[in-house]
Each structure stands twice: as structure tokens, then as C-alpha cells.
Structure 1
Amino acid sequence: MPQILIDHSTDVVLDRPAFAAALHEQLAQVIDTTVAECKTVFRPAADHLVGDGGEGRAVVLVEIKILAGRSAELRAELTDRTLALLEAHVRVPAAFGIEVTELDRATYRFSHHAGGPGSS
């Protein structure tokens, strides 16, 4: 269920599979989910700017989407743990932004599509 979108500048030095695996483990510890249910997409961005660009810092923006109903304290814990993971895994000066957003239980759907007839 958790969907993680990670936008980052191309100059970020990050072992993406290791970071995603650690983040999935963390999610399973903090909310009622399993590692197998976590999905992460990395989206490198060729262009970025932090402040006036004078510091030359990389940027990593993380959005963690979870089903609605968790407390603000639990979401804040998830944010804090994600920040600690970023600090442990990113090896260049960088600006980090992390947000935990909620998916509406009434309208959210997820499916595992096997392909085959009717698929494009």
C-alpha cells in the first residue's frame, strides 16, 4: 500500500536500492504494512535549484503516501525516521524535503496487473 515517490537531482550520490529497502523496512515497523506492500519510484531531475544556487547543493524530495487514518504523531515519526535515513545514505551536501500524505480509503485503488489480453 505505501507509495513512495522520490524526486532527486541527478548529482545525488545515493544507493537507491539500499535506501528503498531500508525505507520499506522502516515503514513496516511504523505503520500496519509489510515490506512486500511498499512501492518506491525514483525520479531523477536533470534541473534543480536550491535557494539562489550559490551553495551547489543537491536536492531530495520524498513523498510517502499512506492510507488515511494514522495519527499526526505517527506520520511525524515516519517523517523523522525518513530524514535520518536520508542523512545516513546521501553522501553529498543536499537539501531534503519529506512529506507524508494520506490516500483516501474510499477512493484509493491499487491493482497488480499481470498483462495479457486487453493490455497495451
Structure 2
Amino acid sequence: MATIKPHGPNVLITGTPGTGKSTIGTELATRTGLKYINIGDLAKEEELYEGYDEEYQCPILNEDRVIDELEDTMSLGGNIVDYHSCEFFPERWFDIVFVLRTDNSLLYDRLQNRIEKEK
């Protein structure tokens, strides 16, 4: 049985980079008054990393520290979380999960425009 959170539901928006998670998440937050949490931004602000991946040229997220950082916030509810995967989040946190997808030809162009690393 789901627990009713005092500040509203928690929503997870997940999917491949470039599918529109941030766009939809921020718009949904604006329209609903829920708090938007971009995990990438949170990790940067709070330095929630455990190293650096030389091959992919990016920091390695410390998932345990992310969970610890968000536990109290998520228990209150009223959050929209944006991240490209979902497997490390506790299932109990979310009332609904949206997985975004897009056509690969559109996705490639979007990522090229962001100057994402080829890998």
C-alpha cells in the first residue's frame, strides 16, 4: 500500500540523454508547483562523485551519496526527479515513473548539437 506524502507525489522522469527529460521535468514543475531535481546538477552542487572515468571523460556518480542526500526530501514528496537511469533509486520513493524515448536519428542530432563525446 502506498504511503501518502505530505507535499504530493514523487515523479521520476528517466530515459536516454537527449530525449527531453529536463524540458518536460521543468515544464511539469512549473505547471504543478512540484520541486524539480536534476540529479546531474545536484551531483555537481554537492560533489556527489566517487571518481572520474577517463574513457568517457566524465565524473562517476556516487549513487549511495545521492540516496543519502535525497532521502529526507523524497520522504516528504512533491518532487520531480530527472535522471537517465532508475535502477539505483528506491522504488518506495516514486508514485509514477516516465521513461522517455525518441527516434535514434533525432537523438543523434540532439546530442551532436550538445557537443556530447562521441562515445
TM-score (norm 2): 0.29
Higher strand share: 1
Structure 1 or 2, whichever has the larger Rg, is 1
Q: Which has the higher contact order (CA 8 A, sep 6+)?
A: 2
